[in-house]
Amino acid sequence: MEFNNIYSRLVKGSEKLALVGLGYVGMPIAVEFAKHISVIGFDINEKRIEEYKSGIDSTNEVGEAIKDTNVDFTSDAKRLSEAKFIIVAVPTPVKEDNSPDLRPVKGASKTIGQNLTKGSIVVFESTVYPGVTEDICVPIIEEESGLKCGTDWKIGYSPERINPGDRVHTLTNIKKVVSGMDEESAREIKKVYDIVIKAGTFPVSTLRTAEAVKVVENSQRDINIAFMNEVAMICDRMGIDTNEVLAGMNTKWNALGFKPGLVGGHCIGVDPYYLTNAAEKLGYHSQIILNGRKVNDSMGAYVADAAIKQMIEAGMAPKKATVVLLGITFKENCPDTRNSKVVDIINRLKEFEIEPIVSDDWADREIAKKEYGVNLVDYDSLPKADCVIVAVGHNEYRSLPMMKIKELFKDDLDDSEKVLIDVKSLYRIDELEASGMKFWRL
């Protein structure tokens, strides 16, 4: 098999690359590769495929570039047989009990196996715990295809590092970790990714090492944010402004710059569970990682409890209050609502019979309703509030002057009766104090 010629054939145009999974990760990869080589973009979501074909990027990751891309978008799995280099970028969520949900990866493996041709290289980018690619994906592909891995086709792993909504750290300027099952496949995989990764690639010795890189780097961030969330809770009890403490700490050269907040999304809020689940199977119970997850998973309820306390102190009955919540996506300036911890705020408020009115013009209304049962309201149609919780740092909220924020409240309230919960510390402390409103920030 001429595995070592795939790169040259891709560049010459005699072979194609295929992307399996065209969400926040896969679609930008497909679009970038299509600037240089022939690309088939496959996704089982027919609606998504039609949107891309129509020049609509619902992920907002490439924007207007979707209209000019040469990606051959399709929902026909048989088209994968036309490609010799296949990249898999399907989601890897967790189940209700926080154990890894490998159904998307297994489904993609089955689809690839049914359409695999001899001489192909398959590279997984989906975040998994070490061993999944070789122990779970390879056997499925072999069974479905009847082709032997290492002889008829080869496998690789390159963890995705795309940061949704980030216009600075984009696909091409983030160093890419790459690996292959042997020297030949590793060399070829590196050359293919070097076509688009300007920051360069970083080869590691095994697939398991590459898989570990991703879950470890995100677990590290999760733990650091958990520490900051603990600091925020301690400072809150001490009557100290956390933001000011961190600003002072960050004047030191070796400060890490982390901030407290809600930790959701498809990576940081999920990957630690993949790592600890794999460790537990080997007889090791996490001492730090799971405790960090416990802290971060509790922050939505903590924010909701703080809002209720502030409302009571302002003299209102929370059950009768009109609570407006701004933002439901898992991070700012991004339409992605996967594993949003803002939902934890909503659910905690509901425990106290409070039905918040939620607005987020970035988020998809259908997804918010389907996934969380939340009916989003246009910002301009929001009712006047007793309490406003600004949960996500969208630019639209960050740029609101204090007078505009006050206009969100009921006209008959004194300033001291207006409760503002600033989860992301978007507003200056001196402006908040001067406003006369009752405020709290994480």
* The dihedral formed by the CA atoms of 142, 147, 149 and 152, expressed in degrees to the nearest 10: -160
- 247: tokens are 């600003």
Torsions phi, psi of 13, nearest 5? Answer: 95, 10
CA separation for the pair 168, 263 (Å, rounded): 21
| Torsion sign across C-alpha atoms 138, 143, 146, 148 | positive
Give the angle subtended at the CA of 150 by the CAs of 148 and 156, to the nearest 5°.
Answer: 115
* 50 contacts 58 by C-beta, under 8 angstroms: no
* Cα distances (Å, whole numbers) of residue 84 to 6, 153, 183, 425: 7, 9, 18, 49
- 112: tokens are 């690839």
- 191: tokens are 């050359």
- Provide the 10 A C-beta neighbour count for residue 375: 10
Known catalytic residues? 267
CA separation for the pair 367, 356 (Å, rounded): 18
* 194 contacts 8 by C-beta, under 8 angstroms: no
Beta strand pairing call for 176-180 and 153-157: antiparallel
CA separation for the pair 298, 81 (Å, rounded): 46
Q: Per DSSP, what are the bridge partners of residue 73?
A: 41
CA separation for the pair 58, 240 (Å, rounded): 41
